[in-house]
Amino acid sequence: MRRRQFIGALGTTLGGAGLAGAAFDLLAQSPLRTPDVIFVPSNFDVVVQMLKLAEVTSKDIVYDLGCGDGRFVVTAARQFGARGVGIDIDPERIQEARELSARTGADDKVRFIQGDLFDTDISEATVVTLYLLTRLNLKLRPKLMKELKPGTRIVSHAFDMGDWKPEKSEMVGGAPIYLWRVPPRA
């Protein structure tokens, strides 16, 4: 529900339960906190090449951390047969992702979570996609190492992981993409 619709609903439902429900809808649409990055969508060629670099198959569960409009998990589902989970803190992005999923018929393979990617459990992922900043990748790295199984592939558009050297990297449309695998536990 958009804020303007909320105000209209509020005007017609000034009773207890209606007011509480409308207030809940407004709160559910507010970001949990200010997003760490602005939404800049990855070019479709980059999306496909990142999924190819990660060797995504129908056996994979692709998690996109900071999923924006959902294009990574929807593409993983539609073109590679994978299941996918998108996580974003911004409710507008989650709504766009759900709309894309519905339009493309990927609803049966993907889901979207409005949440903080630093707090959400990602342990079932076999592939993680990122288009964050290097400083956020570095902040996220301990979580990736702790929660992901050894062998899980991590792919990033444009931003690296500092001193953790990628297994592979390529240039796509003038931007680098990187692949890492979670190493075996000591």
Q: What percent of the chain has pLDDT over 70?
A: 81
Q: What is the pLDDT of residue 34?
A: 77
- pLDDT band at residue 16 under the 50/70/90 scheme: very low
Residue 3: pLDDT over 80: no
| CA-based nearest residue to 151, from 127, 169, 130, 170 | 127
Residue 10: pLDDT over 60: no
Domain ranges of the chain: 1-30, 44-181
Q: What is the pLDDT of residue 32?
A: 62
Q: Taking residues 57-73, what's their average pLDDT? A: 97
Say if pTM beats, i.e. exceeds, 0.95: no
Quote the tokens at residue 60.
Answer: 């994979």
CA 153, CA 180: separation in Å to the nearest integer? Answer: 6
Domain 44-181, second-level architecture: 3-Layer(aba) Sandwich (3.40)
CA 73, CA 111: separation in Å to the nearest integer? Answer: 9
CA 169, CA 26: separation in Å to the nearest integer? Answer: 42
